[in-house]
């Protein structure tokens, strides 16, 4: 892991929901990243990101937050993790974004 902490990302939320949000993003980064590669966590004042290095194809950014949507390795996963993360973000008025740049990048940010 590599941590880049530029500021404090602070939001008041239910402890269990915050654990689900962070755990799901970290688990996805580990499971879908290339083994032995760095997973980066970036924390800034209004956002935090979890990034992995992966040769997997980019995910469908229009479907990845849908319940039961599964990427290319559909037989192994339930397709619920990112849907839960999205629901938690929505309930706390946070934005959740995905992009692919030599790996999967998920960013949670405060709506400005």
Count of domains for the chain: 1
Environment class of 36 (CB within 10 Å of its CB; exposed 0-12, middle 13-18, buried 19+): exposed
Percent of the chain with pLDDT over 70: 94
Q: How far apart are CA 68 and CA 17, in angstroms?
A: 20
Flag whether pLDDT at 74 surpasses 80.
Answer: no
Contact 50, 25 (CB under 8 A): yes
Q: What is the CATH number of the domain that holds 99?
A: 3.30.565.10
Flag whether pLDDT at 78 surpasses 90.
Answer: no
Instruction: Write out the residue range of the structural domain in which residue 13 sits.
Output: 2-110
Whole-model pTM: value is: 0.90
């Amino acid at each position: 892991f590599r941590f880049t902490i530029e500021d404090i990302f602070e939001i008041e939320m239910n402890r269990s929901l915050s654990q689900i949000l962070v755990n799901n993003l970290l688990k996805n980064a580990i499971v879908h990243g290339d083994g032995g590669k760095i997973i980066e966590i970036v924390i800034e004042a209004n956002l935090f990101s979890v990034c992995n290095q992966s040769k997997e194809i980019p995910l469908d950014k229009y479907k990845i937050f849908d319940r039961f949507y599964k990427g290319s390795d559909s037989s192994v996963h339930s397709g619920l993790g990112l849907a839960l993360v999205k629901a938690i973000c929505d309930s706390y008025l946070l934005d959740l974004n995905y992009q692919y740049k030599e790996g999967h990048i998920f960013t949670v940010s405060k709506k400005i």
